Amino acid sequence: VDPASEAVSGALSPDGRQYLAQPLVSEIYTADPSAHVFDGKIYIYASHDIDAGIADDDLGNQYAMRDYRVLRMGKIGGPVTIGPVALDVEDVPWASQQMWAPDAAYKDGTYYLYFPARDKTEDKNGLGAFRIGVATSKNPMGPFVPEPDYIPGSFSMDPAVFTDDDGTSYMYFGGIWGGQLQRWKDGVYDPNGSDTDLMQDDQPAIPAKVVRMNADMKTFAEPVRDAVIVDEDGNPILGGDHDRRFFEAAWVFKRGGKYYFTYSTGDTHYVNYAIGDTPYGPFTYKGHILEPVQGWTSHHSIVEWDGKWWLFYHDTQLSNQNHLRNVKVTELKFNEDGTIPTIDPFLP
């Protein structure tokens, strides 16, 4: 696969800016890249965007993805292999539609694919509730065999699984607006709840969720907890603080003994980070990792490979349509004190 065809490289954004990086693949649309190093290669578990002819709305109905394809690279900048269909919504008994941002993990010879999708219930909009499923394979490219039901106790979307040095894994998940996290405020789903947020700008923002996984990697070991982001004074970031509050796309990595909780701010289009001393947080807000990309959504992952750190992200360079995205990668640097210089997805 040509990682950046002649036609693509050198292209300018609609407002005349030069892109920092080029799409990793141009044969299919890919988004929400969750990158992992397995057995010396880089695997990207991504959404596989398609055009279902649905207009943009706040529920994200235009993101009508039906399956997953895994990308593999032997090295950054090398050729990229697009795997066959790794999991299709038709093969997931509990899911109705919208195979959104996935993640993956490896343990004891098995690869685990975690994915959100709407279940088969109906809310006030006639749409299912988002749940999180798990599927397994002996091959990192799949195909993956799904469990018959979603992970008990799971809800909302954008799962990201972080495994600590002691082998314990934690799932971070959730997203507001179309991701429905605001409908789970009291731990019970309200199918008539808000389609956006709770409109409580002076209250603590709706937090992402974190939960320790059982050794089977298929179930939660404890009740789901809040992953709270606080400011420099230890106060929770407020719901009205759209430049800093959590929206979706949680991703956690560990560096220098610290836990970096990274996430998207949705309607203000930043990828931010906050740092904590434990996998559960609280996480102290530090700043922007990525300025807004072309396109409404911003969703990323961060992985160490070959002695450097890499930011995988997406934009809409190939389509200039919000729901048809393409994944990219660029190096992520750290300052001496562990803070992260903000990346501009366009060249100066």
The contact set with ligand FUB (CB under 6 A) reads: 31-32, 47, 60, 63, 100-101, 157-158, 175, 248-249, 297, 299
Judged by CB, which is closer to ligand FUB: 157, or 224? 157
Q: Which of 27, 32, 119, 231 is catalytic?
A: 32
Judged by CB, which is closer to ligand FUB: 284, or 311? 311
Cite the beta strand spans of the chain per DSSP E. 29-38, 41-49, 67-73, 80-88, 103-107, 110-118, 130-137, 145-146, 160-163, 169-173, 208-212, 225-227, 229-230, 248-255, 258-264, 271-276, 283-290, 301-305, 308-315, 326-332
Q: Which of 103, 119, 248, 315 is catalytic?
A: 248
Judged by CB, which is closer to ligand FUB: 135, or 284? 135
Is residue 6 among the annotated active site residues?
Answer: no
Judged by CB, which is closer to ligand FUB: 5, or 330? 330
Tokens of 204: 């603590």
Q: What is the DSSP letter of 94?
A: T
How near is the Cβ of 246 to ligand FUB at its closest, in Å? Answer: 12
Q: Helix or strand or coil: residue 280? A: coil
Phi first, then psi: give them for residue 10, nearest 5 degrees: 90, -15
> Are 164 and 170 contacting, i.e. CB atoms less than 8 angstroms apart?
yes
Q: What is the DSSP letter of 346?
A: B
- C-alpha dihedral sign at 19, 25, 27, 28: negative
> Are 136 and 111 contacting, i.e. CB atoms less than 8 angstroms apart?
yes
Q: Helix or strand or coil: residue 247? A: coil
Is residue 57 among the annotated active site residues?
Answer: no
Judged by CB, which is closer to ligand FUB: 20, or 208? 208
> Are 207 and 227 contacting, i.e. CB atoms less than 8 angstroms apart?
yes
Q: Environment class of residue 229 by beta-carbon count within 10 Å: exposed (0-12), middle (13-18) or buried (19+)?
A: buried
Active-site positions read 32, 248
